[in-house]
Structure formats: structure tokens, C-alpha cells
Structure 1
Amino acid sequence: MRLVTLDDFRDTFFKGKQRGWDFILSKFNLSNSERTKSAFNSSASISANWWEIPYVKKRWNKLITNDEHQNYKQYLVAEALKDASNLKLLSLGSGTCSHEIELAQYDNFEKITCLDLSEYRIAEAKKTAKQKQLNNIEFICSNIDDFNFKDDHYDVVLFNASLHHFKNVDALLSKKIRPCLNTSGLLVINEYVGPNRLQFSRLQIQKINEGLRLIPKTFRKRYKSSSYKNSFSGSGLLRMVIADPSECVDSASIIPSIHKHFDRVVEKPYGGNILMNVLKDISHHFIDLNDEKKKALDALFEFEDDYLKNNPSDFIFGIYKKPNQ
């Protein structure tokens, strides 16, 4: 465990430039929930993260669905929910609900319920759903502890990049999620499942730095900065807790807890161990590709694939069902 690292100081500085110094000041609020909310305020959409790169998304699709043009929602509806109708889906930590709004456009769903702590994100989701004239989706701004989980009620419970924000994952899955699913209900995750608080091993940090050197210097200039990203030292525990007390608080328990309480239907690792940290703050260079940029990403993909041969994936897409009683 690392209490403080060099990246803590660098990332704080660059985060201030990217998201504004008011965002940094919000991290000194004594309320854990308020600091968590601030991590997902309006400035969160202005960033340079790996998930924004279309070529990376195609890689995920290929690894999850075997088709770079089919995302996991399309796969879920076409395969796991084929011919199903009148479905009730609950999404916890839904954010701006882009994935849920996409699912709501399928006739399979009678009602999709989205729950999130951020008033800003829920407001954005409501606006988008209204523009798309969707009537089968509802939005609730609430803490999970205040939500009424009805027993045997839902056909699908979805966690999209949100389960790693919940503490005591085992209790959540066993006492709230499993009981609220009906007999044939499915748990669906698209999640970071790596080390708690992003406390990567020395080997992984070493490999991330090797991966960073695969990127030509011209594409390592940081977002909204004249500085270059030349090294990676990881996150310290102190900054993780201050910045967002919920971030990766119990992420390492996700897969063991799911395997304990559910049966696997589909489980697809798609890496991220190297890409997430190499591309952080420099992803904006790769939104639009030329031959040189594509070559650099292909080399990075190959490097991560080689790493994954002997190391568990930090990101997983999975579909799980309640075990037979």
C-alpha cells in the first residue's frame, strides 16, 4: 500500500487545470458523500480518459462479444435476453444513464429504474430520456441505503462501472441484490474488479511504464497542458480517500463475492490493466486516428494482451444467475 506518490501531486495539478480549481477545493469537504458527488459533477464530462477512444471501444467489443461493432448491451439483448419481454431492470449507480437509455429503446423492457447519488447526472439523464421520448425508464436520485429493494421483483440488475464504488460488496450482493432478483433473474456487470484503491503491484506499475514508452512523445502531451506524461507511479491511499471515498473501496471482492452467490453465465475479461493508466490524460490524442496513432495503439494492445496471459484482468463483463435452489 502506498500512502502518497509522485502522481498524487501531478494528478492534482493537472486535474485542477482540466476540471477547474473549484473541483479541487470541493475535495476538502468533510462529508464523504459530498466528496463522492463532486467526483461526478458537470466537469466530469470534460476529461481525457481511455473510455472515450473509439478504437479502444472496438477492442472491448471484440473481447466481450467477438464483434467489434457489437457492444455489450446489444449482446445482452440479442443473446441473454432473446425473446424476453416485460422485463424490469434495476441499474445502481447509473450516472447519466447512457447505457440504460440505450437499453430502454428495446421492446424487451417494461420498466428500467436508474438510481444514482448525483443530482446533476440524474437531471442530465432525465433530459436525454425526454428528448428520446422514452416512457419506460425512471430516474431516482437517492442513496442505495434509502432505496426499497423489493424481493423477487427484478429480471435484471445492472452495474455499469458502479459496483466498485460500493463498500462491503459481499453483503450488498447477498442481502440486497440476490433477494431482489426473481427466480430467473440476471446480474449483469461491466466493471473494474482490480486491486482496492488502485493499489497496483510493483510489476503492474513497471509494465504500465513500459507501455507508456510505446507511445511516441508527441502523443504524450497531457490534456490542457504543455507538459508530457513520461512516467507513472500510481495513486496513494490518502489522495484516493480524499478525492472520492467510494473509489475502488472494495473492488477486489467483486468477482469472489459474485462467484460465491451466483452462477456464471458469461464472464469476459477485457484488460485495462495497462491501457487505463497509460492513456489517462493523453487519450485526447487518439480520438481521431492516423496511421501513426493506430500503430501506437496496436502496439499497446499487443503489450497488454501479453501481460494478461499471466495476470488477471482488471475489467470484466459478466452475466450471472441465481443458483438453483
Structure 2
Amino acid sequence: MRLITLDDFIDTYFKIVQRGSTFILSKFTFNQEKRTKSAFDNTSFISSYFWNIPKVQKRWNTLISGDENKNYIDYILEDLLKDKKGLKLLSIGSGISNREIELAENRTIFKEVVCVDIADNLLNFAKEDAAKKGLTNIKFIAQNIYEFDFKESEYDIVFFKSSLHHFNEIDKFLTTKIRTTLKKEGLLIINEFVGATRHQFSKKQISEINKAIKMIPKKYRIRFKSKFHKNKYRGVGTLRMIIADPSECVDSSSIMPSIHKNFSTITEKPYGGNLLLSALRDISHHFYELNDEKEKVLNELFQLEDNFLKNHASDYVFGVYKNKK
């Protein structure tokens, strides 16, 4: 594992440029919970991450649902749960809870949606949104999940939306908490990063990420809110990962083996991200609006990643699994 890299210093500089010194200073505390919370409290920051690119979102839709215009929430509602009624869902690490609100809007399927997150300010936004929509079947709990009361056989569905990779001792967590609180044959639904713990990518993956960066014309490699170019990816050090957010990908490589051990697979849709995550970080804003040249670049990046995925497990997975209780 890499303790520290040159990219740690470069990325820290651009975090200051993009988010301000207050955000960086929030990391200088020995309280791990406060450092984790600060990672999700910055609601004013408009990120430049690859998952905001519309063409990337259409790619994911196609890989998950088979339709570029059907996202994974619509796929859940229209394909997987269309004949279900009166379900109770627990969303762990729900954040601003936008997807959970979409689910709760289908009152026939969902009797109750329970959202739990440590970031109370994000839940406050969610409460306001739910109230405007007149939703009475959704509630929000601001609490550290390790203090949450997982009642036995309480929920039909447990939902993780980019949050499961923030938990340590994944196998123990799934076995003692999630399987316990799910009803018999209840469902675990994930849309998650399941790649290398602490982003300690292999030399091969880093090499392919750099190949992807070189494929992008220099004019589209100017970093967000700066005049500097992105030229190389060197990997991330574990020290910065821990300082920035102690929970980030703390045991992510254990997610899929543990799920496959404890649950039966109903559907599993890998959708990549192995190269795009790191290659497009801080330069994604160039691809929000496309011309022919930009679209060609993205198509070439997609093909490069598809070739990589032929021999490597996907870093992102959408999956639905049944409890083996």
C-alpha cells in the first residue's frame, strides 16, 4: 500500500482552490466522526466528478437497465419491484436522500422509507424536499449508524447508495446488522464502489488510467477552477485518505465477497468506473456539454475501459440480493 504520493500534495492544493481553506482545516481534528462528517457537509460545492457527466450517466443506465434513459431507480421500480406492495425500506448513509425520495413517491410499493445519515444538514435539505412533495411515508434520522437500533426482521429492503464502502469490517456488518434487520428473503440493494480498499489500485490499473489521460486533448485537461493541466495519475496515499475521511473505502474490497457469501444474487450489473473515476477527476466539467470532438473522446475512453473490464472486476456495481436467513 502507498502511504503518500505526489498526487496527495497536488490534490490537496486543488481541494483548497475548489473548496476553500475552511474545508481543508476541517480535516485537522483527531475526531474521526467529525472528519467523516465534513466530507459530506459541503453542500455549496459544485463538484467536477465524472458521475456528473450526462453521457457517463447514460452509459451507466445502459449497463444497468439496458436503456440509456432509464436510471437504476426507475429500473428498481419498473422492473424489480413492480408487483410489490407495502414495503419497508431502510437506506443507510442516505445523504441528501434524493433517490430515497423518488422511491417514497411510489406510495403503493413503499409503506415506509427510513433514511439514516450522520450529516444532519443534508437530511434537513431532504426533509424540506419531502415536505414540499407532501410525502408522509418517509422519515429521516440523523445518527451514527453504529448507534442505530437494527431491529430484527424489520425491513423488506436495505438500500446502500454509495455508502456501504464507508463501513469497516464489511463481513461482520452485513452478517450481524444487515441480515438480522432484513426479513426472511428480504432484499439488499446496492449501487456502490466495490474496488480496491483505500483506492490502492494495481500498477496495471494505474497504467491504464494514465493511458486514458493521454487520450484526452490538452485543452480538456485544464483542472476545475484553475489554469493547470492534469497530466498524470500517480495513485493516492493511504495517509491522505485517512486524514480526509477515515471511512472512505476503508474495507471496500471485501464488499462483493461478503455479499456473495451471505446473500443470493438476483441481479448484478457491473458498470466500470475503473479508469474513468481517476482519469476524469477534476476535468469532468469539460464534458458536461458535448461537441463532436468531446463525444469522440468519451467514446474512446469508454472503449478503453470496456477492454480493461474484460479481464478485471468492475469497481462499481449495481446489485440486488436476497437474504439467506
Q: Give the alignment's TM-score, normalised by structure 2.
A: 0.98
**How far did residue 184 of structure 1 move?**
2.9
Query: What is the SS of the residue equivalent to 1:295?
Result: helix
Query: What is the SS of the residue equivalent to 1:298?
Result: helix
- Name the counterpart of 2:36: 36
- Name the counterpart of 1:55: 55
- Name the counterpart of 1:160: 161
- Could you tell me how far apart the structure 2 residues matched to 1:42 and 1:27 are? 13
**How far did residue 42 of structure 1 move?**
2.2
Q: Does 1:313 align with 2:304?
A: no
| Deviations 1:100-138, CA, capped at 9 Å, x for gaps | 011111131110000000112111111211222211110
Query: What is the SS of the residue equivalent to 2:215?
Result: coil
- Could you tell me how far apart the structure 1 residues matched to 2:269 and 2:45 are? 27
- Name the counterpart of 1:237: 238
- Name the counterpart of 2:139: 138
Q: Does 1:101 align with 2:106?
A: no
Asked if structure 2 preserves the Cα contact closer than 8 Å seen for 1:42 and 1:120, the reply is no
| Deviations 1:205-228, CA, capped at 9 Å, x for gaps | 010000011111111100000101
More displaced 10-residue stretch of structure 1: 42-51 or 154-163: 42-51
Query: What is the SS of the residue equivalent to 2:272?
Result: coil
CA RMSD of aligned residues (A): 1.0
**How far did residue 43 of structure 1 move?**
4.7
Q: Residues 165-314 of structure 1 correspond to what in structure 2 (within 5 A)?
A: 165-314=166-315
Structure 1, unmatched stretches of 5+, are none
Asked if structure 1 preserves the Cα contact closer than 8 Å seen for 2:4 and 2:239, the reply is yes
AA aligned opposite 1:297: L
| Deviations 1:150-194, CA, capped at 9 Å, x for gaps | 111111100010000000110111001011111231000000000
| CA gap 1:87/1:43 in 2 versus in 1, 3 angstroms | closer
- Could you tell me how far apart the structure 2 residues matched to 1:193 and 1:150 are? 27
More displaced 10-residue stretch of structure 1: 65-74 or 35-44: 35-44
**How far did residue 98 of structure 1 move?**
1.0
- Could you tell me how far apart the structure 2 residues matched to 1:163 and 1:126 are? 22
Asked if structure 1 preserves the Cα contact closer than 8 Å seen for 2:43 and 2:122, the reply is no
- Could you tell me how far apart the structure 2 residues matched to 1:7 and 1:43 are? 25
Asked if structure 2 preserves the Cα contact closer than 8 Å seen for 1:19 and 1:43, the reply is no
- Could you tell me how far apart the structure 2 residues matched to 1:167 and 1:39 are? 17
Q: Does 1:126 align with 2:116?
A: no
| Deviations 1:44-91, CA, capped at 9 Å, x for gaps | 642100111111000001001111111111111122212111110000
Overall identity of the aligned pairs, in %: 54
Q: Give the alignment's TM-score, normalised by structure 1.
A: 0.98
AA aligned opposite 1:218: K
- Could you tell me how far apart the structure 2 residues matched to 1:308 and 1:230 are? 23
- Could you tell me how far apart the structure 1 residues matched to 2:20 and 2:203 are? 32
AA aligned opposite 2:69: H
**How far did residue 261 of structure 1 move?**
0.6
Asked if structure 2 preserves the Cα contact closer than 8 Å seen for 1:49 and 1:281, the reply is yes
AA aligned opposite 1:165: H
- Name the counterpart of 1:79: 79
More displaced 10-residue stretch of structure 1: 69-78 or 263-272: 69-78
Q: Does 1:113 align with 2:111?
A: no
- Could you tell me how far apart the structure 1 residues matched to 2:62 and 2:179 are? 30
More displaced 10-residue stretch of structure 1: 154-163 or 180-189: 180-189
Query: What is the SS of the residue equivalent to 2:51?
Result: helix
AA aligned opposite 1:12: T
